[in-house]
Structures are given as C-alpha cells and as structure tokens.
Amino acid sequence: MTPTQGGRRPRERSDGEQGAFVELLVGRAVERCRAVLFDLDGVLVDSTDLIEDELRRWAGEHGLDPQRVVDLSPGRTNLELVAEVAPHLDAQAEERLMLEQEVRSAAGVRACPGALALVSRLPEQAWAVVTSGNRAVAEARLRAAGLPVPRVLVSADDVSAGKPDPEGYLSAARQLRVAPEACVVVEDAVAGLRAAAAAGVRAVAVERPGAPLAAPHAHSVTSLTQVRTSG
C-alpha cells in the first residue's frame, strides 16, 4: 500500500455544500466523508475479464499486440486508447463499434461481492460513479448487475480527458455539491488512484491478491465486503 492522508478528517461544511457525514468502515479503519465516488469496472461490477477478452479480440482483428492494448486500457476512454495504440485507425469509428459491442455484452456482467450491500446503505446524494467507459455501457452494466444507477454518473461522454486526469472525480464532487476533500474514492486501477490524488480525494484501493497498486491510497481491500457503513 502507498499511504496518503489516511484517517484525515474533512473540514466543516461550507455554505451550499450538501450531505451529512457518512462513516465508512474500511477494515479496522474509519473514514468520515460526505460522499463516496466509485469506479465502476472491477469495483462495483465484475467486468474485468469481459473487458480484457473484448480488447484482445479487437486487437487481434487489427493486428495489434493484445497484451499491450490491455495494459494501456485502465483509465483511458476507448477514444484515447485507440488513438494511443492505433493512430492509423479512425478512432471515432472504432469507438462507436466498441461501444455497440460493450452494450451487447453487458448482460453477462455481475455485481462485485459487497457492492449491492454497500451502495444500498448510502443515501443517493452521497455516492456517484466515475467511469472511463461510455454512459450507455455503464448504465447497461449496472442494470445487468442488479445495481442502482446513481443520480450522478460521470462517464467518458462527460469529460475531455480520462483518468489519471482528475476531471471526472472533480465533476462528480461538484455535482454532488461536496468538496473533493470531503469525498472518498474507491478504485481498482493505478490511473484511477492517481486521478483521485490529483483531485485531492482520499482513496481506497481494491487490489487483487498479490497485485498491489503502486499509486497513492489511504487504505487497501480485496473486495467491497471489507467496506461498510457504520450504524
């Protein structure tokens, strides 16, 4: 774990800021915040294998190195990924085709352990999703997984730059009318943790066993079953 600001108490609410405090129990630690900002894939929905399979298939169709495409994908929007790995292709056209395939395959997605229990205990004004995927895909995956679509969902359609740029997390905090330092991010990718750090937001890393994430975070867990609310 690369620790930052763990256990830091958020400042008192300023005029216009919404939301009562939520106490998150992360393992044995307590994080007091006004909002929780979740990454989607690999945090709330178990879609990592599906995404990697689709990226490998797409890379093979275009004669690209599948592993390189997978390795470069976390945090990037499809548009950014295509521009990076295949600048000779029409990135916007490829993005549209990838979007259609991702929506079609969403039915096979399931909720990550602990996800439904956690979001069900959070007030609707106290949580958001920030994803590098498109809105249509995010909503399809949430519904397929039996999870509610949050009031605030920031997708690739809503930002000019994907993670590690902090724009998505800052936008979610602003829409919830909560200061960034009064939020907690839950992420499973280095790019997302770096985005949280750049936004000035505390982060909980969801790590695969034996695969620590080399990016700033206050706490680490292996699943959301280790994160709950008090009370």
Burial of 183-204, coded b for 16+ CB within 10 Å and e otherwise, reads bbbbbbbbbbbbbbbbbebbbb
Q: Which residues are part of the catalytic machinery?
A: 39, 41
| Measured distance CA(79)–CA(174) in Å, rounded | 25
- Greatest pairwise CA separation for the chain in angstroms: 55
Residues 6+ apart with CB under 8 A from 227: 24, 25, 26, 114, 118, 186, 204, 221
Q: Tokens in use for 38?
A: 């979740």
Nearest Cα to 184, choosing from 21, 34, 2? 34
Amino acid sitting at position 21: F
| Measured distance CA(158)–CA(40) in Å, rounded | 15
Q: Rounded to the nearest 5°, which phi and psi values hold at 62?
A: -110, 10
Amino acid sitting at position 88: H
